[in-house]
């Protein structure tokens, strides 16, 4: 019986064209909740929902993860079961940690530390275009518009399309790598053919950081953080940066203004007055 409810939730998300990543995350949260509270499969109990979320917080899960669980249950009861009751619970407070940003020199060291040309190109393009790891693995030959210096990102986070920069510096290497490949082929295929996994790219990046002697706790996503920060440091209008990143809310992009160095470097420390 419970599997029927899970299947209904899956089908509702498919009808609404939710991304595979969102479907997987929501179904995981719903299944987890129903395994703890089987009676909740057909009826809403706010007390159980509260205890479920408190349990997630007690385990030290990130606020974003707790919010995802809350959204998943709101979707299940509101859009799948269509219950009349509301889950009137406040969202967990989001972490205010600043993103890990790599300097231009550190980016160069990381890229130079990668021996495999294809792997080096993946990291360089991720930084130069501000791509998420999933966008790098999903990139197809037809998405590259060489004449316009544009990459057409399709079905990105939130199932949205956007345009971003195709760095002139990597165009020659991309053309050499992709010569003769059809438009529907992945730009970066695995050794066996087909799409690379995000885990593979993460490992490539981590190993390159170690070889380059980078001590920051950077991840592949730090390349995207660095792209945004460096554009702002170069004086690019924040609205353009928002568009290139595909942020729906300008406040998300404004976070990078806190880690730009071009303003901080002009402020003298009071210690210099001694």
Q: How many residues does the chain have?
A: 274
Active-site residue, 142 included: no
Tell me, yes or no, if 56 is annotated catalytic. Answer: no
* Gap between the Cα atoms of 272 and 266, Å rounded: 13
Coil vs helix vs strand at 162: strand
C-alpha 147/C-alpha 110 separation (Å) is 28
Q: Is 273 in contact with 193 (CB distance < 8 Å)?
A: no
Of these residues, 120, 224, 225, 230, which one is catalytic?
Answer: 224
Give the three-class secondary structure for 164. strand
Closest C-alpha among 226, 4, 145 to residue 218: 226
**Phi, psi dihedrals of residue 260, rounded to the nearest 5°:** -75, 150
Residues 10, 48, 211, 221: which is the catalytic one? 221
Which residue is catalytic, options 247, 262, 266, 271? 247
Specify whether 224 is catalytic: yes
Residue among 74, 157, 195, 207 flagged as catalytic: 157
* Range list of β-strands (E), 62-209: 144-145, 150-153, 162-165
CB-CB contact of 166 with 154 (8 Å): no
Cα–Cα distance measured from residue 242 to residue 254, given in angstroms and rounded to the nearest whole number = 9
Q: Is 199 a catalytic residue?
A: no
Q: Is 207 an annotated catalytic residue?
A: no
Residue 274 exposed, middle or buried by CB count within 10 Å (0-12, 13-18, 19+): exposed
157 tagged catalytic:
yes
Choice among 56, 120, 132, 230 that is catalytic: 132
- Active site (catalytic) residues: 132, 157, 221, 224, 247, 256
């Amino acid at each position: 019986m419970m599997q029927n409810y899970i299947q209904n939730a899956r089908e509702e998300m498919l009808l609404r064209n939710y991304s595979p990543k969102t479907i997987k995350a929501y179904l995981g949260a719903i299944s987890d909740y129903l395994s703890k509270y089987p009676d909740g499969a057909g009826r809403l109990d706010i007390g159980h929902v509260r205890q479920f979320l408190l349990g997630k917080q007690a385990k030290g899960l990130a606020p974003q993860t707790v919010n995802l669980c809350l959204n998943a249950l709101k979707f299940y009861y509101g859009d799948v079961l269509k219950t009349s009751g509301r889950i009137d619970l406040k969202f967990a407070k989001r972490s205010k940690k600043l993103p890990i940003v790599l300097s231009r020199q550190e980016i160069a060291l990381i890229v130079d530390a990668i021996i495999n040309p294809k792997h080096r190109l993946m990291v360089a393009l991720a930084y130069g275009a501000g791509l998420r790891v999933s966008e790098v693995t999903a990139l197809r030959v037809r998405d590259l518009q060489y004449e316009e210096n544009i990459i057409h990102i399709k079905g990105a986070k939130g199932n949205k399309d956007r345009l971003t920069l195709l760095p002139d510096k990597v165009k020659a290497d991309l053309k050499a790598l992709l010569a003769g490949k059809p438009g529907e082929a992945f730009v970066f295929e695995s050794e066996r053919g087909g799409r690379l996994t995000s885990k593979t790219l993460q490992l490539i990046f981590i190993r390159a950081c170690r070889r380059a002697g980078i001590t920051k706790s950077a991840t592949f996503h730090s390349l995207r953080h660095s792209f945004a920060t460096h554009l702002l440091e170069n004086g690019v209008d924040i609205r353009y940066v928002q568009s290139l990143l595909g942020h729906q809310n300008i406040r998300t992009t404004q976070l990078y203004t806190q880690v730009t160095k071009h303003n901080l470097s002009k402020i003298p420390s009071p210690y210099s007055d001694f």
